[in-house]
Amino acid sequence: GDVLGGLPPAMAAIGHRVMTVSPRYDQYKDAWDTGVTIQVKVGGKIETVRFFHCHKRGVDRVFVDHPLFLEKVWGKTASKIYGPMAGEDYTD
């Protein structure tokens, strides 16, 4: 989180064109729905993902959206991103 928050804007500030791609774990009020969807094979199953985008502090930020991402954050299921409890991974 610290690297995505600090390094990309610092690189943009010195003239680099920078883009980050990350899961859409939150609503990110500045990100707009691009309307672009693709299908990805995950574990023998086809999943559809959608892309959101915003441009902030000189950085293009792309968010990959899937319902599973939003189900695993505080406020939706009272769980944490990396596991239902500290020190415990999700089964998937």
Region of residue 61 (phi > 0: left; psi between -120 and 50: alpha; otherwise: beta):
beta
Query: Residue 13, SS3?
Result: helix
Q: Return the ∠ at Cα 53 (arms to 82 and 56), rounded to 5°.
A: 95
Across the strands, what pairs with 32?
Answer: 53
Residue 88, pLDDT > 90, answer no
Residue 42 structure tokens: 């995950």
Residue 84 lies in a domain: no
Residue 26 lies in a domain: yes
- pLDDT grade for 92, boundaries at 50, 70 and 90: low
Give the number of domains in the chain: 1
Place of tokens 């505080």: 74
The answer to whether residue 29 scores a pLDDT higher than 90 is: no
| Residue 74, domain member (yes or no) | no
**What is the extent of the structural domain holding 19?**
2-65
Per-residue pLDDT averaged across 60-88, rounded? 71
pTM for the model stands at: 0.74
CA-wise closest residue to 8 among 61, 59, 64, 62? 59
Chain segment 42-71, per-residue pLDDT in tens: 889 999 999 999 999 999 999 999 887 776
Residue 17 has pLDDT above 60, yes or no: yes
